[in-house]
Chain A
Amino acid sequence: MKHFLTLTKLELVNLFGINLWRYGKDPADKKRRATLLAVIVVLIAIGMFYFGATAYAYVLLNASDRILMSLGLIAVAFTLFFNAFRAKSSLYREKDRELLASLPLRSLPIVLARLLRVYLEGLLVTLVILLPGIVVYFIYVGFSLSFCLTALLAILFLPVLPTSLAAWIGILFAAIIARNRHKVLTEVLLMLIILVVTFALPLIITGSASSSEPTEYFSQISPSGSNYSGEVTAQLSAQVASAFESAEKSSPLFKAWDGLFRGNLSDLLLYGLASLLILLLTALVIGKNFFTISGKLIQGASHHDYQLASLRNASLMNALVRKEAGRYFSSGIYVTNTIVGPIFAVAFAIALGFFSMEEILQTTLQLPIHLNLQAALPYILGMFFCIMSISTSSVSMEGNTLWQVKCLPISPRDLCNAKLLFSLLVMGPFYVLSEVILLFTVRATLMERLWLIIIPALYLVFSATFGLFINLKLPKFQWNSHAEVVKQSAACGLSMLAMFTALLPIFLICLAPAEMTNLANLLVMLLLGLATFLLYSKPDLRAITK
């Protein structure tokens, strides 16, 4: 127990960077942390606003008693999604393995402390999702003690089960990766499977439920219709109620889940205790082979049979790009995080051959208004290349090897160019492939085709340039795992926020009259081109020179 508390304290200090806030003296580092905090606060605020609005929609549709159940389901799905990605690196962290293995510690307290950390991260996600719903309920329905207690228990218990499930995924991943020689490739493939499953499931589920006609559902609340009346509300309420009823009938699991929030508190308490038991069981299983598996994960193969053959020289840029490639393909989480967008771009291009864009977007994004989607196509394709650029983490990834590039005769500009070039070289084939597929799957006029080629290409270059620019401004060289750079750095957060802003033209173009499309596209092209040029020509190189 004593060890568990000590290790838990260690995990929490790591999780929130409390020590860095208290004792860190470097002003640049403080600035970076403040930026990261600001980005997190903004993202939380956006998330809370979104889920508050969702809860309000339930109130409007006379389904306020379903708020907790629905948001609870979303919270569980989100927690599972986020934790599953990080479970392997969170549980089997490499950095302090040798230190912990050398100490007189049993593996169970180590695992429990790490699981607690994963749980707390899930709790934060749950709070962001459930809290606005609870507030909306109190405001519009009224305060009730039973709802208050149910909500409190739900917040505390809901992240437990996804934490356990994510841990099992982590164990499975770790076991498979540990046995495999090509560890990074295996990790990337496994993560891509999770992604595909996560995104395909809602498509399948909502697709099967499309008999409730979501397009029609949303067209009624479109601003152009301006018929948002009591009659429509009543109609929608009936549709929602019927959708819930049919879901309850068709899925016993859904019924049980719904019942959990409708029944008495003892059911929820029972669910919580069962979840805790599963978590404990998970900890016991991980603890049993903890050091064996984590040891195998870091094992590198040594052959000691190299024979020096003739060597070839290469240009500086070639050498630097190969260095970037080596680093990129050595990190599963780096590859997965940045390759998702381009893969989606290709998948989207293929999907357009089978479904209309309206069908795809209404099913996946549930857009509430009618848009000129044909004009938006170049932007939607461009958006996929902006999700997370490779260059957004490439400077931070230098980490403790930064001394190397600083003392070698490499100009900072060459280093940046190599990072940019590599980013474009990885994204380029996906872009070309998407464009080739679109030749067959989309009918377009010559002008539309031209925009379909130019706009995504511009977004691709802009995204890479902006990513590098922001990473040079906010580098993070002190990190324990690649996840800290690729997922939790200020540069990544800010880059995502900025990309949302850069993609605003999607909405303007969609809402603009069709005859204005070419002019609007031209304007966006000029603006993007100018922004990219400015970002490229005025990078802040201090991070790699000072």
Chain B
Amino acid sequence: MLVIRDLQKHYKGTEKGISGVTLHVEVGDIYAFIGHNGAGKTTLLKAITGIHDFEKGEVLIDGIDLKKNPLEVKKRIAYIPDNPDVYEFMTGIQYLNFIADVFEVSAKDREERIRKYADGFELTDSLGDLISAYSHGMKQKLVLISALIHEPKLLIMDEPFVGLDPKAAFLLKGYMAEVTARGGAIFFSTHVLDVAEKLCNKVAIVREGRLITSGTMEETLRGKTSLEELFLETVETKES
């Protein structure tokens, strides 16, 4: 589903960025991407969604090269940023309609899906209000709905659980499972290691822009009691 080969992206004038990242996300995967603050998680996510350009490497989504055919790639993915900065001048329903128009979702489908997800997240009542009046959590829910209404093949999320109430977080896990069940995949960054350990079948750890380890959760955790232990150990080993 997602193939990243030798990806390199550095910000101009700084050392920050990512180098030599190679990663494979298969159909049905729920892939956690973890690392300390400033490790390069968001940079990688933004590079594979076409938000940031990259200097070297290759990104293929559903077999399509991001550099060569970005529009076709973007039709197959949905990205949820860590900070839900959306068009505050729109109402919730206008925003969802806008996203549905961009992805050419039929009126019937969008109505069904908005009803399903907005009711689930208990946001339907507020869809007529301006987004500028939404709380952080409400914006996060809105972005999640917008990501799900076009049924993406690959869902890319940056810290998706931040700002969500427990019920919404529970629902999101269910919707993630639905995406994989219909032949999609999920690649997301998180600091909540417990959730990653329980929810994901694969994990990758990044440190200072380089991939330290990646693979199935079972293989990666072999000999360790938890993902937390592995993460702390890996980071400390490299630091020493």
Q: Indicate if the CB atoms of B102 and A316 lie closer than 8 Å.
A: yes
Q: How far is the CB of B164 from chain A (nearest CB, A)?
A: 19
Q: Which residues 85-112 of B sit at the A interface, judged by CB distance below 8 A? A: 85-90, 92-94, 97-107, 110-111
Q: Indicate if the CB atoms of A308 and B101 lie closer than 8 Å.
A: no
Q: Which residues 378-421 of A sit at the B interface, judged by CB distance below 8 A? A: 400-401, 403-404, 406-411
Closest to A399 in B: B85
Q: Indicate if the CB atoms of B118 and A25 lie closer than 8 Å.
A: no
Closest to A323 in B: B98
When distances are taken between beta carbons in the complex, the residues of chain B under 8 Å from A407 are: 49-51, 74, 77, 79
Bound-state Cα–Cα, A403 to B94, Å: 18
Total CB contacts across the A-B interface at under 8 A: 125
When distances are taken between beta carbons in the complex, the residues of chain A under 8 Å from B83 are: 400
Q: Indicate if the CB atoms of A403 and B101 lie closer than 8 Å.
A: no
Q: Which residues 24-68 of B sit at the A interface, judged by CB distance below 8 A? A: 46, 49-53
Is A446 at the interface (CB under 8 A from chain B)?
Answer: no
Q: How far is the CB of A379 from chain B (nearest CB, A)?
A: 35
Which of B75, B79, B102, B103 has the most C-beta atoms of chain A within 10 angstroms of its own C-beta? B102
Show the binding face of A for B, using Cβ within 8 Å.
25-28, 300-308, 310-316, 318-319, 322-323, 326-327, 329-331, 400-401, 403-404, 406-411, 545-546
Closest to A314 in B: B101
Q: Indicate if the CB atoms of A308 and B111 lie closer than 8 Å.
A: yes
Residue contacts A-B, CB under 8 angstroms, 12 given: A25-B14, A301-B130, A304-B129, A306-B93, A306-B129, A311-B110, A312-B107, A316-B104, A323-B98, A330-B89, A409-B102, A546-B52
Q: Answer whether A305 and B86 are a contact pair too, CB < 8 Å, given A26-B13, A313-B104, A319-B101.
A: no
Q: Indicate if the CB atoms of B114 and A311 lie closer than 8 Å.
A: yes
Which of B98, B115, B127 has the most C-beta atoms of chain A within 10 angstroms of its own C-beta? B98
Q: Indicate if the CB atoms of A327 and B85 lie closer than 8 Å.
A: no
Q: How far is the CB of B38 from chain A (nearest CB, A)?
A: 15
Q: Indicate if the CB atoms of B128 and A403 lie closer than 8 Å.
A: no
Closest to B88 in A: A330
When distances are taken between beta carbons in the complex, the residues of chain B under 8 Å from A306 are: 92-93, 124-129
When distances are taken between beta carbons in the complex, the residues of chain B under 8 Å from A327 are: 87, 89
Q: Indicate if the CB atoms of A301 and B133 lie closer than 8 Å.
A: yes
When distances are taken between beta carbons in the complex, the residues of chain A under 8 Å from B213 are: none
Partner of B50 from A311, A316, A406 at Cβ < 8 Å: A406
Partner of A313 from B49, B88, B100, B118 at Cβ < 8 Å: B100
Q: Answer whether A311 and B97 are a contact pair too, CB < 8 Å, given A326-B87, A404-B87.
A: yes
Closest to A325 in B: B89
Indicate the size class of the contact surface on chain B. 35 or more
Partner of B46 from A302, A314, A403 at Cβ < 8 Å: A403
Q: How far is the CB of B83 from chain A (nearest CB, A)?
A: 8
Closest to A545 in B: B53
Q: Which residues 1-36 of B sit at the A interface, judged by CB distance below 8 A? A: 11-14
Q: Answer whether A313 and B106 are a contact pair too, CB < 8 Å, given A319-B98, A403-B46, A409-B74.
A: yes
Is B192 at the interface (CB under 8 A from chain A)?
Answer: no
Q: Which residues 124-170 of B sit at the A interface, judged by CB distance below 8 A? A: 124-130, 132-133
When distances are taken between beta carbons in the complex, the residues of chain B under 8 Å from A323 are: 87, 90, 98
Which of A25, A403, A408 has the most C-beta atoms of chain B within 10 angstroms of its own C-beta? A408
When distances are taken between beta carbons in the complex, the residues of chain A under 8 Å from B49 are: 406-407
Q: Indicate if the CB atoms of B129 and A313 lie closer than 8 Å.
A: no
Smallest CB-CB A-B distances: 10 pairs: A306-B128, A300-B133, A330-B89, A25-B13, A319-B101, A409-B74, A400-B85, A546-B53, A409-B75, A304-B125
Bound-state Cα–Cα, A330 to B94, Å: 14
When distances are taken between beta carbons in the complex, the residues of chain A under 8 Å from B118 are: 308
When distances are taken between beta carbons in the complex, the residues of chain B under 8 Å from A316 are: 101-102, 104
Partner of A311 from B12, B52, B111 at Cβ < 8 Å: B111
